[in-house]
């Protein structure tokens, strides 16, 4: 049986070492390489990894400018992250790997599959990969501020202690059921020491660079249109604040009807990955994807 405690490792991708949290699976089983969202970190996949129960391994990457990769240099952007993920797959001797992505990570997964087809097998996209609407007359920074306002403010805040940061997250409307131990670990893993207390490890410039590509780059916004092989798309009913509208509108199911949609009533953009109901649906999708490679 694999150890209950995951490994925290670093993988050389050429100009930097990226942090990876790895849960080992059964010998010879396929590996899932998982990619987090725009202001998240690798520990966001902990509940899914637990529910996989060692049947298959999972390696969650800290993207440049986040988590244990906070010091990795730019340039940032979806293409750069996709190339990094392909290098991680190569260094782990995992090709072809199941690649899973949550939110922005879904775009990274799609780009990785397109740019490095030999490295990537089935895709599982969790509440992401569908291009976001862009209101006319607004800059990408303004749209990001409107969409991610509280998250952007979090990156700029100095927290006096870890308790105050945890309290902020416990009051988030998407986590009305409270913080699980895995969610608490994810939250506290985001903190790094700074003058006056703690701050988020997330590099705001990385967020803005990546977000601008998601909102304005035609190639990144059409990744799902160009995807020939069906992906599994797990869709939450509610959005970032635990309420309507959802991040992925219902009309997207018709537009991208060639993909395998899994709609999860009662989940939001975060609980689809963190709560056991959503995480079990994601774990099931990963098991099914891995079975294709077995």
Q: Residue 255 CB: number of other CB atoms within 10 A?
A: 12
| pLDDT tens digits along 209-259 | 999 999 999 999 999 999 999 999 999 999 999 999 999 999 999 999 999
> Greatest CA span in the chain, whole angstroms?
55
| Residue closest to 124 by CA, chosen among 293, 287, 294 | 287
Report helix, strand or coil for 21.
strand
What pLDDT band is residue 65 in, cutting at 50, 70 and 90? very high
In whole angstroms, give the CA distance from residue 94 to residue 88.
Answer: 9
pLDDT at 119 over 80: yes
* pLDDT band, residue 1 (cuts 50/70/90): very low
Q: Per residue in 124-182, pLDDT tens?
A: 999 999 999 888 778 888 888 888 888 999 999 999 999 999 999 999 999 988 899 99
Average pLDDT over residues 261-275: 97
Statement: residue 290 has pLDDT above 70: yes
Distance CA 290, CA 70 (A): 30
Residue among 60, 17, 11 nearest 40 (CA): 60
Pairwise CA distance, residues 222 & 214, whole Å: 10
0.75 exceeded by the pTM? yes
Which pLDDT score is estimated for 163?
97
Q: What is the pLDDT of residue 2?
A: 41
Backbone angles phi, psi at 12, to 5 degrees: -75, 120
- Does the pLDDT value for residue 107 go beyond 70? yes
- Identify the H or E element spanning 209: helix 204-216
By percentage, how much of the chain surpasses pLDDT 90? 89
Domain positions in the chain are 7-131+203-293
Distance of CA 44 to the CA centre of its chain: 7
What's the CATH number of domain 7-131+203-293, 2.40.50.140, 3.40.50.1820, 3.50.30.30, 3.30.930.10? 3.40.50.1820
Q: What is the pLDDT of residue 136?
A: 79
Question: Mean pLDDT across the chain, nearest whole number?
Answer: 95
pLDDT grade, residue 3 (50/70/90)? very low
Sign for the pseudo-dihedral over CA of 81, 174, 256, 149: negative
H-helix or E-strand spanning residue 226: helix 223-226
Secondary structure of 34-83 in the HEC alphabet? EECCCCCCHHHHHHHHHHHCCCCEEEEECCCCCHHHCCCCCCCCHHHHHH
CA 133 to the chain's CA centroid: 20
The token duo for 18 is 């990226």
pLDDT tens digits, residue range 177-207?
Answer: 889 999 999 999 999 999 999 999 999 999 9
State the pLDDT at residue 143.
85
């Amino acid at each position: 049986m694999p150890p209950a405690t995951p490994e925290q490792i670093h993988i050389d991708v050429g100009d930097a070492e990226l942090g990876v949290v790895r849960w080992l699976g059964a010998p010879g089983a396929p590996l899932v390489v998982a990619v987090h969202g725009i202001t998240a970190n690798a520990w966001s996949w902990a509940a899914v990894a637990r529910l996989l129960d060692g049947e298959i391994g999972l390696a969650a990457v800290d993207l440049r400018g986040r988590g244990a990769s906070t010091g990795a240099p730019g340039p940032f952007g979806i293409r750069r992250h996709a190339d990094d993920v392909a290098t991680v797959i190569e260094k782990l001797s995992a090709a072809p790997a199941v690649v899973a992505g949550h939110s922005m990570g879904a775009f990274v997964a799609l780009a990785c599959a397109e740019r490095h087809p030999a490295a990537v097998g089935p895709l599982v996209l969790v509440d992401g990969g569908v291009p976001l609407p862009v209101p006319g007359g607004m800059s990408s920074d303004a749209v990001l501020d409107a969409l991610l306002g509280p998250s952007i403010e979090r990156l700029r805040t100095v927290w006096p202690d870890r308790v105050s940061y945890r309290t902020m997250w416990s009051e988030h409307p998407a986590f009305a059921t409270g913080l699980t131990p895995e969610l608490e670990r994810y939250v506290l893993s985001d903190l790094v020491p700074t003058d006056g207390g703690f701050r988020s490890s997330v590099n705001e410039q990385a967020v803005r660079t990546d977000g601008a590509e998601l909102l304005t780059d035609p190639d990144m916004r059409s990744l799902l249109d160009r995807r020939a092989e069906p992906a599994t798309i797990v869709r939450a009913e509610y959005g970032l604040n635990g309420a309507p509208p959802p991040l992925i509108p219902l009309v997207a199911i018709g537009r991208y009807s060639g993909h395998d949609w899994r709609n999860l009533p009662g989940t939001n953009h975060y609980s689809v990955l963190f709560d056991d109901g959503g995480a079990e649906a994601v774990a099931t999708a990963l098991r099914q994807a891995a079975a294709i490679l077995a």
